[in-house]
Amino acid sequence: MISPASILGSQSPQLKALPPLSLYVHIPWCLKKCPYCDFNSHEIRGESTQVSEKAYVAALIQDLELALADVWGRRLCSVFFGGGTPSLFSAQAIDTILTAVRTLLPLEHFAEVTLEANPGTFEAQKFADFRKAGINRLSIGIQSFNPQHLHALGRVHDDQEAHRAVEIALKNFDNINLDLMYALPEQTLEEAQADIKTACAFGVTHISAYHLTLEPNTLFHRFPPKLPEDEQAAAMQDMIEQTTASHQYRNYETSAFTQSGKESRHNMNYWLFGDYIGIGAGAHSKISFADKIVRQMRYKQPKEYLAKAQAGESLIQTRHELTAEDRGFEFMMNALRLNGGFDALLFHERTGLPITAVQKQLDEAEQRGLLVHDHHRIKPTVLGRRFLNDLLQIFLPEKTI
């Protein structure tokens, strides 16, 4: 198989222009750790959230200040507060962070600023204050509107709180995403349909519907619940696609459904191999330079992250440059999640590699019916979307012994 490195020889791939830049802010605390969650999140466990909040906000701002040298002069196209449960923090804390962001790295006009929220943390005034602080998009972790399934998933909210959360959000925000999950323990097709119909009926701008998977290092992985069979889960996926389409939502990414023009700009930047600074415990960054692309990860444990910040030390635990092979694979791993695919010229623009670097893989994927491509556009077929892992595996770099 032809590799990008063999095409380029010893020459380092060069980028003629830098991609858009986003900011991800990780807030790692939750009221309770869900049994399916493998994110870097930690239960509060009685610690003073005010003390933790104040110290953590200071560390985040320091983290961003230290990152400036790598992105000086660039503007942010989006900001995303993820977790954990960012809505546990006060509106004042979010306002303090965003004020620092605007001071250090200017935002593009009408930049998307998203806050993830848990229905168990909703207070009407608090969310009105989030809007005043500069949050213009809300992403609510509903997961299900069914009380039995919420209990099985270990969620801290019930179905009534889920409905109330969406109603409060609709009064304060006009750009809202609802996160749902399907193929839940003991879930029937009819129950999955009730969830997606309820979400659509609210008329929110965006819906994400994720297949529940048993991730390593989770309680569900150690003690697996009984999940629907693969055939039934596939039927749920088909039903979700049909139901959202009937409510004028477009399925633009594997798990994402949007009203016209309301795609997640932050996630689109990820999927099209854009750059992002990740600040906060365990946050990841991808930063492009003319002659290299660098990935970084912050210290993962909140206590260690805070201790490093307070000692004035570097908050970056790991840093590595992407090889030419890594660039090609990572671009495809992200961009092929998009149902409409990507412009063929974007591959060279974002990786510095000619499209011929992956030509053999593209041809193999097309021969297997997983992808279609021409000189203008590359996109997965319906079969490729259904068997996305098989499609992506074709682009995996070969391991040398």
DSSP letter string over 114-159? EEEE-GGG--HHHHHHHHHHT--EEEEEEE-S-HHHHHHTT-S--H
pLDDT reported for residue 26: 97
pLDDT for position 305:
97
User: How far, rounded to the nearest angstrom, does the alpha carbon of residue 385 sit from its chain's CA centroid?
Assistant: 18
Task: Give CATH superfamily name and number for 16-269.
Answer: Aldolase class I (3.20.20.70)
What residue type is 153 in one-letter code?
A: L
Identify the residue whose tokens are 């040398």: 400
Locate CATH 1.10.10.920 in the chain: 324-395
Q: Which pLDDT score is estimated for 400?
A: 40
pLDDT value of residue 19: 98
- What's the pLDDT score for residue 48? 44
Distance CA 263, CA 207 (A): 10
- Alpha carbon distance 175, 62 (integer Å): 30
- Cα-Cα-Cα-Cα dihedral sign, residues 74, 78, 82, 86: positive
For the chain, 401 residues long, the average pLDDT of each consecutive 10-residue run is 52 90 96 85 65 90 97 96 94 97 94 95 90 97 96 91 95 97 97 98 98 90 92 96 98 97 97 98 98 97 96 96 95 97 96 95 97 92 95 83 36
Task: Give me the pLDDT at residue 355, please.
Answer: 94
CB count in 10 Å sphere of residue 231: 7
The sign one gets for the Cα dihedral 42, 44, 49, 55 is negative
Contact 167/123 with Cβ under 8 angstroms? no
Q: Which of 211, 135, 214, 217 is CA-nearest to residue 177?
A: 135
Nearest partner of 388 among 342, 331, 338, 323, judged by Cα: 338
* 52 token code pair: 């933790």
Model's pTM, two decimal places?
0.93
The pLDDT score that the predictor gives to residue 401 is: 36
For residues 318 and 299, the answer to whether their CB atoms sit within 8 Å is no
Q: How many Å apart are CA 378 and CA 350, to the nearest integer?
A: 15
What pLDDT sits at residue 1? Answer: 45
User: Which CATH architecture fits 324-395?
Assistant: Orthogonal Bundle (1.10)
CA distance 380 to 264: 20
Q: How far is CA 259 from CA 50, 166, 172, 238, 267, in A?
A: 38, 17, 19, 19, 15
In the numeric block, which tokens belong to residue 31? Answer: 């009221």
Kind of pairing between the strands at 377-380 and 371-373: antiparallel
